[in-house]
Amino acid sequence: MFLIKGIIMVVLAVFVFFNPEDTLKTVAFYLGIGFFIAGIALVISGITEKKADKTWSYNLIEGIAILILGFLLVVAPLAVAAIIPVLVGVWAAFYSFLIIIDAFKSTGNIVIKLISGIIILLLAYVLIFKPLFLGLTIVIWLGILLLMAGSFNILMAVKLKQSIKKDSPS
């Protein structure tokens, strides 16, 4: 079983390395299906808890939002996957400004705060203006993970076969 699993992981890793955009699209698509199902569950929960729970509207609103996001991820996975890093990038830029301002206002850890703020601002810049770059980087890390895990499983299969040969009577 190790050998089969290892070969499958190595083949998937090769696919990921040679088709990073397709991999990102596939991951976004399945994420969309999960969001769509979760959205339906939250909408149903919000509607059925209308009389029993005062916060039923939160479930309904969250469910509708997740349902829409899930639908968009299924219909246009790459477009929506590109938006999420931008939103995180805007937040990170805002946060980095707060850190940099705090560095100049405070007396302790000025250098650490300033360096942290600048690094976060640079990462925010990449998230906002190069979101697919980071998305593809994530896919490359996935490919490396699959390659390493696949190689490990193939090695385990070889070791297991050697162990069985060693223990069996000749």
Tokens of 82: 């590109």
Q: How far apart are CA 121 and CA 3, in angstroms?
A: 45
The count of structural domains within the chain is 1
Q: How far apart are CA 151 and CA 10, in angstroms?
A: 7
Q: Does pTM top 0.75 for this prediction?
A: no
Tell me which residue has tokens 């190689």: 151
- Low-confidence residues of the chain, pLDDT below 70? 1-2, 5, 55, 81-82, 84, 87-88, 131-136, 138-139, 141-142, 145, 170
Q: Residue 136 sits in which domain range?
A: 2-167
Report which secondary-structure segment, H or E, holds 83: helix 77-105
How much is the pLDDT for 18?
Answer: 82
Q: How far apart are CA 166 and CA 159, in angstroms?
A: 10
